[in-house]
Structure 1
Amino acid sequence: MVTRFRRPAVAVVTTLALVGLAACGSDDEQPDANQAVQPATTSCASSGELSMWERSGGNKQMVDLLVEAWNTKNPDCRINLTYIPHTEMVGKIAQGIASGEVPDLMGMDLIYAPQFEKAQQLVDLTDRIRSWPEIATASKGHMTVATYEERLYGVPLYADVSALFYNKDLFQRAGLDPEKPPTSLAELRDYADKITAIGGDVKGYYLPGNCAGCNIFTVGPLMWASGAKIEAVDAGDEPLTGDGVKQVLQFGRDMVKAGNVHDGDRAENGETFHLQFGTGKVGMMGTGNFNITLARQQNPGMKFGIGLLPGASPGSSASFIGGDLVVVPRGSERVADAVNFMKFLLSDEVQVEVYAKALNLTTRTDMVANKYFEAEPLVQDVAKALDVGRTPYTLTFFEQINSPQGPWLQMLQKAYYTDEDLDKVIADAKTAMKTVASAG
């Protein structure tokens, strides 16, 4: 079960680090290139401890459970897991590859995988894993970013999806049906107005004002559901297209002006994002599946439900599929063991008895129907987001979207907190994103 916030796509990367990353190594240095491919199992391929790096700020408890399960089954090749501060992860990987001191395998924020794949800093696993039947039902969002030029570089480690959490107690107090979450932006605004009218310290909605990753995770889907496209995939691609961009920016501006969000939301940088819904003071909030367990721990008496993040048209919805991949860095000497760990993660037993038992989403869609989820309706509800979810694919995600100084957050902050013309706000952000994509 999750007991801490996992900031989606928030590992800090710099252009300098990526340039350095791309510079080290060349095509003919791929480890394992002349070695025979061994059939994958869920056990040791060789003996001796395996080293694994994972970013902090991720789903630590889930990763700990997975590694513990592997170590219990495979005492002769136990994994020694090390957490690297998320702000240091990319630089540490680059330095490790340059010096030849890399872990045998590692967890990677999925959103950055294409950048590492293009830079040829991950081991190409295509011939080892493409024939696995489990790959066919592995999370499509994860597998999309695990693929570069039709080659495969990893499998899902864990999955996060965004959805609309709503406080049923506040719904009842506001005269709303606690079994019917909003299904459009207009309803979301209307419901928020009614909940805010309760008074006191209660607000109808939560809008993080200083967290780029939080907003792509929860506001990005509002745009997608409204027919918008956000990021530029590469040079020449047009970002911020579709009426949904302006519709959602206007929605956010109106929410702030109507007093439907707490004043303190403006300073939210992601550090306390995960704690907001469990306070019982927020009527509705875009957040992730991790908040099911956390909200219950914070506020055991609070009744809440989960719906999909809606768009402008009634019944439209979308979700951000985030999380981590497990990949093999260039220079690993234990590729076969790393691949066996991947096979282990995707096995039926681990999907049900580790992921599902801990009330975390399975990373295979055919494993969603299981005894643990059947006993937990909220997990079933949040799993519906997998059907409408997507994961952005771009080689410049950080610079366009996730940077605290980047065009995405600047655009949102101008929309939320100023009266600047929204067409100009969008045009400025579009120009900045295109510039970044062209440079990348």
Structure 2
Amino acid sequence: MRRRLAGMATLALLTLTAACGGGGGGGGQQPADEPVTITMWTRAATQAQSERLVKAYNSSHKNQVKLTVIPTDNYQPRIAAAAGAKQLPDVFAADVIFVPNYTSQGLFLDITDRIAALPFKDGLAPSHMKLGTQDGRQYTLPHTLDLSVWFWNKDLYEKAGLDPEQGPKTLKEFAQHATTVQEKLGKDGKVHGTFFGGNCGGCYVFTFWPSVWAAGAQVMNAEGTESLNDQPAMTDVFRIYRELHEKGATGPTTKEEQGPTWTGFFPKGEIGVMPMPSTTLGTMPADMKIGVTAIAGPDGGESTFVGGDSIGISSTSQNADAAWEFLSWTVSDEAQVEVMAKNKDVVARTDLADNKYSAEDPRVVLINSLVGKGETPYALRFGQTFNDPQGPWLRLAREAVFGDAAKAGELNAEVTKSLQQ
């Protein structure tokens, strides 16, 4: 998560280099009947899904797509440099969290009218569509989706005397289950009740914030300029995780976990219950019995952090029609079902949540159903504020869970200050 959500410092370059035209225009057209090869960039984090989509498209269309996969840590600088040189590819994907920054700099072509003509436009992942909208105009489509959910280890539950078929329905119950696993099975130090990235800003937002949303509250105002992370809903979530840590139920390295390995312990069978990215379900050991459920608030509800990537046509593309043909195909029934769902990826359309492939696994149906219930927070300065290891959010979260919780108000003011810079 840290690798996927870090690296926002280079976005500052865009304010100096982006001179690619406004969001409502641009995009030259190719001759009507000539085959066209369009260029596409994606970061390594979404390489597998992107390659599958491109391969399927190229095998069935006259126009072709040439895909370039860029290391995730280098992706932001490459986009910034290409924007400054007016050498962006025809289409490029981006972490959905950072899309508002790109649209505000005019890097994407306005595709509002094209989207409006799609017969399934109302089924497109709402959180992704929201972040790709600026001043009522739309610039991107969902590309890949990754949701935060709770996984529980059914074998550990059974050994601890818990019902292996019943996952937690509230955050308080989550804490009870984790505590029980720790008390019954954790004496040898090999099994732990739960785990989270305690020194990773992106991990906190991905796994803690859904509990706030499930409780009917928010973490920021709608404009992304005021932090609400000192309010009761967030402090309740912090308190529950703090108590789990104080009980020794979170594993010995939680406080130091910076992100790269935070999802690596559950697949080893060492964790009873924990928040995980939905995309890891397909990578779990085949013989591991795993339950999946929505992240809940302290007393119930359900939500998720809808992460992943969005994709759009660059504002300097000379092949807008061919680029749109590809983009619109990626969200078609054919691509979403036969490419994405067939490979156990989350579909980008709520109307296809229960398809012939996901129907084979109720856990996948549940994950797909959360796309329309979750949220993707909006803030132009999201990365600097929430993902930067030196940013104010990580200081707030660590004090709330491991340090002096009384500093929440003071540190929350620093988060707001960062959002408003």
Change (3 A) 1:397 1:286: same
Q: Determine the C-alpha separation between the residues in 1 that align with 2:166 and 2:369.
A: 16
Find the partner of 1:327 among 312, 328, 344.
312
CA distance in 2, matches of 1:163, 1:114: 25
Unaligned residue ranges in structure 2 (runs of 5+): none
User: Are the equivalent residues in 2 in contact too, given 1:239–1:433 (CA < 8 A)?
Assistant: no
- Give the AA of the match of 2:37: E
Classify the secondary structure of the residue corresponding to 2:152. strand
| 2:69 alignment partner AA | Y
Match of 2:140 among 154, 171, 177: 154
**Equivalent residues of 1:138, 1:156 under 8 A apart:** yes
Partner of 1:41: none
Distance 2:178 2:226 in 1: 36
The 2-side partners of 1:192 and 1:45 are apart by: 61
CA distance in 1, matches of 2:224, 2:374: 25
Contact kept? 2:392, 2:415, Cα under 8 Å: yes
Aligned partner of residue 250 in structure 2, secondary structure? coil
Question: Unaligned 5+ residue runs, structure 1?
Answer: 39-43
- Deviation of 1:15 after TM superposition, in Å, equals 5.5
Change (3 A) 1:248 1:357: same
Instruction: Work out the CA distance in 1 between the residues paired with 2:168 and 2:192.
Output: 16
Match of 1:348 in 2: 333
What is the aligned partner in structure 2 of residue 51 from structure 1? 39
**Quick one: distance in 2 between partners of 1:175 and 1:229?**
36
CA spacing shift, 1:193–1:330, aligned 2, 3 Å: same
> How far apart are 1:181 and its partner, in Å?
1.0
Counterparts of residues 36-435 of structure 1 (less than 5 Å): 46-56=34-44, 58-74=45-61, 76-197=62-183, 198-199=185-186, 200=188, 201-234=190-223, 237-240=226-229, 242-296=231-285, 300-313=286-299, 315-418=300-403, 420=404, 422-424=405-407, 426-435=408-417
**Could you tell me how far apart the structure 1 residues matched to 2:65 and 2:333 are?**
21
CA contact (8 A) 1:227 1:243 kept: no
Superposition RMSD on alpha carbons, in Å? 2.3
Using the alignment, how far apart are the partners of 1:373 and 1:30 within structure 2? 39
Residues 154-211 of structure 1, C-alpha deviations (whole Å, 9 max, x = no match): 1111111111000000110111111111112221111111101212210111111122
CA contact (8 A) 2:223 2:378 kept: no
- Equivalent residue letter for 2:417: T
Match of 1:32 among 27, 30, 54: 27
Alpha-carbon contact 1:123-1:328 (below 8 Å) kept: yes
Q: Distance in 1 between matches of 2:34 and 2:211?
A: 48
Mark the CA change 1:290 to 1:366 in structure 2 (over 3 Å): closer, same or farther.
same
Structure-2 change in CA distance of 1:81 and 1:193 (3 Å): same
TM-score by length of structure 1 reads 0.89
Distance in 2 (alpha carbons) for counterparts of 1:68 and 1:401: 36
The letter for the 1-side match of 2:330 is: L
Alignment length, in residue pairs?
418
Summarize the Cα distance change of 1:65–1:274 in structure 2 as closer, same or farther, 3 Å threshold.
farther
Change (3 A) 1:263 1:337: same
Distance in 2 (alpha carbons) for counterparts of 1:370 and 1:195: 35
Q: 1:245 to 1:235 in 2, by over 3 A?
A: closer
CA distance in 2, matches of 1:261, 1:400: 26
Deviation at 1:378, TM superposition (A): 1.8
Q: CA deviation at 1:84?
A: 1.7
